[in-house]
Every structure is written in structure tokens, then in C-alpha cells.
Chain A
Amino acid sequence: MKLVPIGVVVAVLVALPFLISGYHQGLATYVAIYFIAILGLNILTGYTGQISIGHGAFMAIGGYTTVLLSADQHWNLLATLPASLGISFVCGLIVGVPALRLSGVYLALATFALAVSVPQFPLKFSKFLGGSNGIHAAQTKSHLWLYVVGWSCSALAFAAAWLLLRGRIGRAFRAVRDSELAAVSSGVSLPIYKTLAFGVSAAFAGVAGSLLVLVTNGYAQPGEFGVLLSLEILIGAAVAGLGSLWGVIVGAVFIGLLPSVAPDVPLIGSAHGQDVVFGLIVVLIMLLLPNGFAGFLRRFEPRVKTTIKSDPKTS
């Protein structure tokens, strides 16, 4: 692991709140939230090869956990974060079990079903979950507080992901991704590691969801956690490129900042220019960098020299 880039990123993040306004601190916090969520998705999809289009659902679970604990039980907001981590982790494990039977597109669409269904429950059970107006946490926090907490969580998440993936578990994850058959025959238990990956990934998303609620003035609303959120996380992960932790920051900046920069674009301008520009740029980026930013970085890495002489497709 290179220490210099980490040092630079940390220095920038520490200096940033002194240089920018409260509004921009809020934007930077969104980037932190997407960072955590994309990191979580990357662990699942990039390292174990299971595709999820349903991470917005886990974010909703985390967000509602935080708000309920704060509004009904009067918990300290910081204390709700570990709780939401734990609950999303368990939910992830629960989803991971049926996911064992599915793969590829079927898994992707099943998780998408989750993303669609979960935001409907607050509408159905509006007595407890506040319906379409949502529910409100007991306190709101300043931009600076959110910035510090958001990026501290990001740092912790990054460290946790790094530690997890470099060790035994990370190796098992990668083995599952590359060949399930080979993984099983070398003693890696598929059910354990696949559900574990789902749990870990969901836990990351849950914390991101809690932070998302806090940054939107403490409101948890079904609309926040709609299908679009899941799609945004997926876009972020694709822009980041799968299987690389470093690309994640680029993906997070991309989906965190672009939609708020886009309305200033001339010509289309105004309210809907945002979608037009965002959609257009997503398409262009995938055309130019089909393997995301990680794939782009890999182009500059020194190639391992191959000395294969023979023809791979034998005659």
C-alpha cells in the first residue's frame, strides 16, 4: 500500500473544512456517504462477483434505524451508527442466504426487487414509519459535525475494507469470484463467504444510509431511498471500476458532486438539465472507460512480462 497518496488524501480532507463554506461541506459529506456505500458494493461485486442493484434498500434500513432510535428511544446520534451497522449486517446476511441460489442477472434483478420493495414499506406501515412524509430524528447537526463524522466513518470503512480484503477472508472472496469450483475444492465454504460478503457489504450501506438521513436535516423519507439511489450507487461502483479500492473515491466524487454541478451547465440549464447532463456523462464515461477508473489506472501499471510462446487456442 502506498503511503504517499493516503497522506495526500488525508491532508486534503483535514484542510478542506477550513477552506470551504457550510454548503460545500454538506456536498463533501455526500461524497463521504457515497464513498462508504460504493465501497460496500465493491466488496460484494468486485471481490466476490455477486451483483447487487439493491444497496439503496440497505441504506434505507440503516437510515430508518438511526431515525427511529433517535426519535423514539432518544439515542445519541453517534450511538445509532453502530446499531445501524449491526442491523444492516444482519439484514445483509438474511438476504445473502436466498442469494446463494441465484447468480448473475437473476441475482441482480432479485436485489433490484429489494430496492423497489423496501421503500414501499414506510408507505404501507405509515403509523410506525411515517408514511411518505417520513420521520424526523430528535436533533439536527451542523455541516461541520456531519463533515467530520462522515469522513471519519469513511476512513474507518476504508481501513476496515483494506484489512478485511488483504487477509484470509479477502483471499477467500477472490477465490469465490474467480472460480467457485476451485474455491470449494481448496476448502473455501461458499455459503459462509458469500453470505458474509453480503452482510459486510450491507453493513457499509447501512452506515451510509444513516449518514444520508442525518445530512438531509434528520429526515428519513421513502423518496430518498428510491430506486434511483440504488442505481446511483451502481453507477458509482462502475465508474470506480470493480475490484479496486482506489477507484472508489473517484466514483464517490462523481455521483456526489456531478448532479449538483450539472444545473449550471448552459443551454439546457434549469431544473432538468441536471438529469440530461448526468445521464450523458454516465454514457460517455462508460464508452471511454468501460472498466471504470480502476481499469484506467491499471493501464499505467507496469505490465507483468509474459513469456508465453505457444498458441493459447491450439490447432
Chain B
Amino acid sequence: MLGLAKRKTAVSTGLSVPVLLLLLAGAIFLVIGSLSSSIFAQQTVAGLAQGAIFGSLALALVLIYRATEVINFAQGELAMATTYIAYQLTLWGVSYWLAFFLTLVIAFALGVVIQVVVIRPVQHSVIAVVIITVGLFILIDGLVTWKWGADLKFMPAPFGNAVYHAGSVAFSRQDLGTLIVTIFSVILLWLLFQFTKLGLAMRAAALRPAAASLVGVRVNRMLALGWGLAAVLGAVSGLMTEPTQFLQPTMMQAILLYAFAAAVLGGLESPAGAVIGGLFIGVFLNLIGQYIGFATPELRLPMAFAVLLLVLLVKPNGLFGRRQVRRV
């Protein structure tokens, strides 16, 4: 029979029982640990805040990967550049939160323009697109350093410096604010994809572009929107990073690497996986750093990637990766 052999007819869902049990065990471990030790609780919350930043940048990577099967190396630098734009706006006297939202709009436009101008012409060649994003990485880095310089810059603190106490545990307002803002934007995005016609069309265009165009979806437009939304998520992660690292051109480079790890951990195809992967890496690094003396800051990156490699060797498509099943 013609054409039958090539057709993917069934796709298993990403979630498997062992993975779910593992997650549940992890969550229980964190809760019990937090109840029994205040330092543990503090480190967990700080780790979650860090992890939420990794997760939102990882989600941006996943959005683009699902649509174009390409890793966007420039995602972190784009986030960094948009944070500088917010900084410039505050310099001009715009209040922090107004600058925040203006920046998201600018980031969206920037993402769309990049897709249309430099990605779309070569989007059939994965290697060309990857190299272009590497080129953008270097280009954006150069532009920002040229315009604003490489020295540290400071923005007004978005959440103030207050610290809350719950019993003997201290939570910084900053950490909680970061957690809330990033999780909120992830949820908004999820609502968009799950419940709107536009979101459905974007998913269809990413999954099966040919079939999507046959039902009238303007596929190219959807892909450009995807880049725009990814840039918005990136901007959120950049803006939330700024209070802890301050502004400098290199601020997102390490975070991009953690986001890679988070995205791969979650399976690259799975938005939920990317967020969970990010949270996991954030908490993991904080707790390891607290309790294991050998794990000095130099080993943070290697450890994140050691975990990543371990997971990949056990599950080569990540924790939540879809396994494509062929039914003939």
C-alpha cells in the first residue's frame, strides 16, 4: 500500500507513570525537608524562584523548537537586550512596571521581525537557522556592549527589598515576586494555547504545517507569532533576572545554559516539561550548593549538565518527551 509505511498515526502521550511517581516523590521530599529545616525551606523557595526564570526561558526555547525544530541560541541574548531596553525606559523616567509592559511589547515585535527577516528565508535548513541564531547571539552581544558598555547597571527594584518571616523561615519579597510573575506569564501562555482559536492555529502550524495550511491557517504568520511570544517570555526572564544579577551583557549566558538543560530535561517538545525542568534545576542546584561541600559554584554548570546527561541516557527524549509510535 502506497504511503502507508511513512505515516505516523499514533502518538503516545509524554507522561509516563514512573516519571509522575518520581515527580511526586520529589515534591514530597521538598515539603518534608522544608517543614523540618528552615534553611532547607529558604533554599527551596530561592531555588524555585531561580528555577522559574530558567523555566520561562526554557519555555521560550521549547516554543521555537516545536515550531521550527531548531534551538535558538540567541534566546538569552535577546532577553538580555530587551532588559536593557527596559533599563533605558526607566532612565527616561518611565515607571518600572510601565517600562516592564512596554518592554514586553517591544520584545514581541523584535521576535516577529527576527523571524520574518532572517529566519524565514532559510527556515527549511536547520543548520543554517542554528548558525544564524549563533550569529545573532554575537551580534546582539556586540550591539548592547557598544551602546551601553560592559559595566554593571542598576534598575529600580521591582518588588522592594522586604523580607517576610514565616516562623523561623525568611522569604525575600524578591523571590516570591519572581515566582509569581513568571508562573503567571506561563499560565497566561498556556491559556492562550489551550483555549483560543489563535493558540490552536499556532499549535497546528507547529505540529503539521502542511495540514494546517489546508484548513486555512496562515502558517508563516503563526511561526512569526511564535517567535514573538518566545521573545516575550525571554524578556520576562531577563527582567526577573536583573534584580539578582544586575544588568550586564553576560547576565543571561549562564541562564541560557540552565534553560537548555531544563528544556532537554523536559523533552524539548513539552512546555510543561520545560517549566518543571527549570524548577527542578533551580532547586537542585540550590540544595546541592547548600548541603554538599564539594559542589562549589564552579561546579554548578557541570552538575546541571551531569544531571541532564544522566536523564538523557536513561530517557533519550527527555522526561516528558513524546515517543512517536508508528501504527501500520
Among B131, B138, B142, B318, the residue within 8 A (CB) of A286 is B131
Among B125, B130, B261, B312, the residue within 8 A (CB) of A102 is B312
Contact partners of B2 in chain A: CB under 8 A: 314
- Does B299 interact with chain A (Cβ within 8 Å)? yes
Given contacts A272-B142, A287-B122, contact A120 B298 (CB under 8 A): yes
Q: Give me 15 other A-B pairs in contact (C-beta within 8 A), A110-B264, A116-B302, A272-B143 excluded.
A: A98-B313, A101-B316, A106-B312, A106-B318, A110-B309, A112-B260, A117-B305, A120-B298, A227-B253, A231-B134, A270-B146, A276-B139, A280-B139, A282-B132, A286-B131
Q: Bound state CA distance, A288 and B316, in angstroms? A: 35
- Does B268 interact with chain A (Cβ within 8 Å)? yes
Whether A234 lies near B264 (C-beta < 8 A) is: no
- Does B128 interact with chain A (Cβ within 8 Å)? yes
Q: Bound state CA distance, A8 and B111, in angstroms? A: 46
Whether B308 lies near A113 (C-beta < 8 A) is: yes
Interface bracket on B: 35 or more
A residues near B, CB below 8 A?
98, 101-103, 105-106, 108-110, 112-114, 116-117, 120-121, 123-124, 227, 231, 234-235, 238-239, 242, 268, 270-283, 286-287, 290-291, 314
Whether B298 lies near A123 (C-beta < 8 A) is: yes
Whether A116 lies near B305 (C-beta < 8 A) is: yes
Contact partners of A112 in chain B: CB under 8 A: 260
Contact partners of B142 in chain A: CB under 8 A: 272-279
Whether B305 lies near A286 (C-beta < 8 A) is: no
Q: Which 7 A-B pairs have the closest CB atoms?
A: A279-B139, A275-B142, A282-B135, A113-B305, A279-B138, A276-B142, A290-B128
Whether B301 lies near A287 (C-beta < 8 A) is: no
Contact partners of A271 in chain B: CB under 8 A: 145
Whether B139 lies near A110 (C-beta < 8 A) is: no
Given contacts A110-B309, A268-B146, A287-B118, contact A282 B131 (CB under 8 A): yes
Given contacts A268-B146, A290-B122, contact A235 B131 (CB under 8 A): yes
Contact partners of B317 in chain A: CB under 8 A: 106
Contact partners of A108 in chain B: CB under 8 A: 71
Q: Bound state CA distance, A273 and B138, in angstroms? A: 11
Among B65, B299, B301, B309, the residue within 8 A (CB) of A105 is B65
Contact partners of B121 in chain A: CB under 8 A: 287
Whether B132 lies near A117 (C-beta < 8 A) is: no
Closest B residue to A280 using CB positions: B139
B168 to chain A, nearest CB (A): 33
Whether B135 lies near A235 (C-beta < 8 A) is: yes
Given contacts A108-B71, A123-B298, contact A275 B131 (CB under 8 A): no
Best-buried of A239, A274, A290 by chain B (most CB within 10 Å): A290
A43 to chain B, nearest CB (A): 16
